[in-house]
Amino acid sequence: MDRTQTLSFFDALLEIFTREEQPLNALDAQIGDGDHGTTILRGMLAAHTSAHASASLRPGPMLLEAATAFQKATGGAGGTLFAQLFKGLGTAAGGAKALDREIIARGLADACRLVQKLGRARRGDKTMFDALEPASLILTEGKPVADAAAAACSGVEATRDMSAALGRARFVADGGRGHYDPGAWSIALILEELSRQFTP
Ligand code: ADP
Ligand code: MG
């Protein structure tokens, strides 16, 4: 994924999260405070602006700029967790001209590590980590980026039967069992788009 594709990635994310803002808010309203779609969209708007402002940079620094912008725009703990995805990818990319499969694998592994450090989530807690970690593990096994996106989608599916141990969902009846985790859903949307932009 070169500079042009990285810019297209942010273009597409802005479009996707503009479309998904209300559905994601509705999911969050079932198990949280109903703001997840709006928060992520605010982050994606800032990330998009920042990526275009750094259009002359290589993908790594561009992703790092976008991560910082995303984090600043979203503020709270939730936004910071999602920014780690761009941060992990940007750090792994370094000064490379394009992101290859190995860079994406290292980037997602780093994002998992950062998310765990910040949020202390474990698998089964019904969070975005339940979509992020399965995707990362698939890449670590040497499988293609498209398989990682599919694993994230299966991870979202699995969150429906989980009872939350973290986040606001732990305060609702039966930990929100029966509802998908909105954060996991967002991770799957981002990774699906990453896989669309990525040409091996
Ligand atoms: P907030 O919970 O502050 O309203 P959002 O609604 O934007 O933030 O995000 C909620 C999502 O954040 C949840 O669906 C879950 O996936 C994720 N999340 C919450 N707490 C954690 C945590 N400790 N570790 C990882 N992810 C978390
Ligand atoms: Mg919320």
- Look at residue 150 in the predicted model and tell me its pLDDT: 98
- Look at residue 23 in the predicted model and tell me its pLDDT: 98
- Look at residue 115 in the predicted model and tell me its pLDDT: 97
- Look at residue 185 in the predicted model and tell me its pLDDT: 98
**Annotated domain spans of the chain:** 3-197
CA of 176 to the centre of ligand 2 (A): 13
By CB atoms closer than 10 A (0-12, 13-18, 19+), residue 141 is exposed
CA of 14 to the centre of ligand 1 (A): 20
Residue burial 95-117, b: 16+ Cβ < 10 Å; e: rest: eeebbebebbbbbbbbbbebbbe
Question: Of the CATH numbers 1.10.287.950, 2.60.40.10, 1.25.40.340, 1.20.210.10, which one belongs to the domain with range 3-197?
Answer: 1.25.40.340
Q: Which atom of ligand 1 is nearest to the CA of 184?
A: 16
**Could you tell me where the DSSP H helices lie in the chain?**
3-31, 36-53, 59-74, 77-93, 101-119, 129-140, 145-159, 182-197
- Look at residue 75 in the predicted model and tell me its pLDDT: 86
Q: Specify the pTM.
A: 0.98
- Look at residue 165 in the predicted model and tell me its pLDDT: 86
Distance of CA 178 to the CA centre of its chain: 22
pLDDT along the chain (200 residues), means of 10: 97 98 96 95 98 97 98 90 98 98 98 96 96 98 98 98 89 93 98 93
- Look at residue 181 in the predicted model and tell me its pLDDT: 96
- Look at residue 102 in the predicted model and tell me its pLDDT: 98
- Look at residue 184 in the predicted model and tell me its pLDDT: 98
**CB distance 76 to ligand 1 below 6 Å:** yes
CA of 62 to the centre of ligand 1 (A): 25
CB 121 within 8 A of CB 112: no
- Look at residue 199 in the predicted model and tell me its pLDDT: 80
**CB distance 33 to ligand 1 below 6 Å:** yes
Q: Which of 5, 6, 43 is nearest to 24 (CA)?
A: 43
- Look at residue 76 in the predicted model and tell me its pLDDT: 79
Which protein residue's CA is at the shortest distance from atom 13 of ligand 1? 183
